[in-house]
Structure 1
Amino acid sequence: MTQTTIEALLARIEMLEAQNEVRQSIARYMALCDVPCAPLEGESLAALFTDDAVWEGIGPQYAQKFGRLQGRAAIVDMLQQYLPPSPHFATNVHFLTSEHINVHGDFARGRWIMVQASGYVDAKAEIIAARLEVDFASSLCQGKHAWLIRHFRTERLFDAPWQVNVRKETSA
């Protein structure tokens, strides 16, 4: 193998590892927004964002509802309004599909379609589909390489009501 071939293979491995780390970051974000959630020790939403991160709702439904938030603290404060102990979701699960991740050096952009199945404390339930476009920045955190969310954009595509199956206990 030539040095050029080795360098090309190393660059491809580096890109694949970066894509996987981006995938892990967005998956942790979604899991931490699920209800109920069982975070691993030391995990937090705040740890997934850069200091100057932007989180915004775009499009006709989300621009007004969420607006544009800047800074890790503002973003986490908004997200916490929807998570326990706040009485909002009884259950909430996120699914990501149609993934596309581009990595360019220390910058990455991912696009997904997110399906969110939500049951609310008022017993209503809905399925929401949204388009996500998320920019990530490469960072060293406590000696480990990480891809942090730098700009999160979400656009609601559609929603539909659904029925949450409530398991009823039977007495024997």
Structure 2
Amino acid sequence: MPFFQFTFKDLQMMSIKSRILLASAASLFILSACNGKAGNAPAAGDVAATVNGTPISKGSVDQIVGQRLAMGQPDSPETRKAIINQLAMQMLVSEEAIKKNLDKTPEVVDQLNLTRQSILANAFVQDYTKNNPVSDDMLKAEYDKIKAHRCQVPNTRHAISWWIRRL
């Protein structure tokens, strides 16, 4: 059973401050909200909340908790509840946007495509760095090459052309 159940009336009851927070974080959730494939539904035990029958996975909550931990914010039940509320509001607003066919406007389609490309590019970089670790020896060797060449380069323009030739 999910922790929370939300409807559009619940959104209307929330404060202006919460709505502003929603707007600032909408890009985190809009891509997954508009990509509602039936096969992507979380298992019953993995549901943190349900919004108009649509589940919010614990994985989504955990992902945002991880981002906040990286920024130095603590993980607490209150933090998780606030994240769930934020995701619920985002889902409600995105559902209303879809009802108004805003997801079909050229501007929104472009934004969704750019967001998707950015997410995929980040996933590629993370996968590459995970599968191709850089050792301390490799870093030191590269540092030594750059340091030695820097002593030989008379100005910035020459340094830039040297870097370009290395690529």
User: TM-score surpassing 0.5?
Assistant: no
- Structure with max Cα Rg: 2
Q: Which of the pair is proportionally richer in strand?
A: 1
User: Larger relative CO (CA 8 A, sep 6+): 1 or 2?
Assistant: 2
TM value normalised by structure 2: 0.21
